[in-house]
Chain A
């Protein structure tokens, strides 16, 4: 069974600064995907960024980038130039390739961006 661990329950950052959210996972699978999802208060889960495990290059999406360390089973999210709209719960998720390809989520981390 796969597990996803987000050890920091809560973080805060000043607007325009950079923040890194950590995530580790455990699996015996060799082919899988990793995701970061954002869930603003009372709003839907939104995909932030995705990483294929077979790719060595770290994924980037505008201000969002990941540091994927496959051997260490680590998948951190870096948010640059933080904006007030980044305030949300952030969930790290694992998806094995093949079969139902269901997501396994961590417990989430609450990020607050202060003006």
Chain B
């Protein structure tokens, strides 16, 4: 098991362009989360999937953001018409509940710079 993997690790895009990030969770983890982290801040929750169902979305997730998790495996996070304020690190995390509870494991993140 290689942990949570994210691709690309870094992306520089021009304002107004669309970008897509991919996340491959730890195998057999049925829960998947997306967070956003800006410099000097802790991660902020964006959205949550249980299997293929998107069960919760933060108000931070504007209409320009969409996330999917087809077949309950990998997930994508797309940002349309990017703005400079979208520059941040986008973190994916996965977990699976066991008898000791829910522990969330993070990927290395995808850095987005909008110029």
Binding site for B on A (CB under 8 A): 4, 33, 35, 37, 43-47, 50, 52, 91, 93, 95, 97, 99-108
> How distant is B20 from chain A, measured CB to nearest CB, in Å?
20
Most buried by B among A100, A104, A107: A100
Cβ–Cβ contact B45 & A102, under 8 A: yes
Give 19 new A-B contacts, CB below 8 A, not counting A100-B33, A101-B31.
A33-B102, A44-B106, A44-B108, A44-B109, A47-B104, A91-B42, A93-B42, A99-B56, A100-B48, A100-B56, A101-B95, A101-B97, A101-B102, A102-B56, A103-B43, A103-B45, A105-B42, A105-B44, A107-B41
Q: How far is the CA of A43 from the CA of B43 in the complex (A)?
A: 14
Residues of B within 8 Å of A35, CB to CB, are: 103
How many residues on chain B are close to A (CB under 8 Å)?
27
Q: How far is the CA of A37 from the CA of B109 in the complex (A)?
A: 15
Is B107 interfacial (CB 8 A cutoff)? yes
Known: A91-B42, A102-B48, A107-B41. A47 touches B105 (CB 8 A): yes
Looking at chain B's contact residues, is the secondary structure mostly helix, strand, loop, or mixed? strand
Residues of A within 8 Å of B97, CB to CB, are: 101
> How distant is B32 from chain A, measured CB to nearest CB, in Å?
11
Residues of B within 8 Å of A101, CB to CB, are: 31, 95, 97, 102
The 5 A-B residue pairs with the shortest CB-CB distance, nearest first, are A105-B42, A45-B106, A44-B108, A100-B48, A100-B56
Cβ–Cβ contact A97 & B101, under 8 A: yes
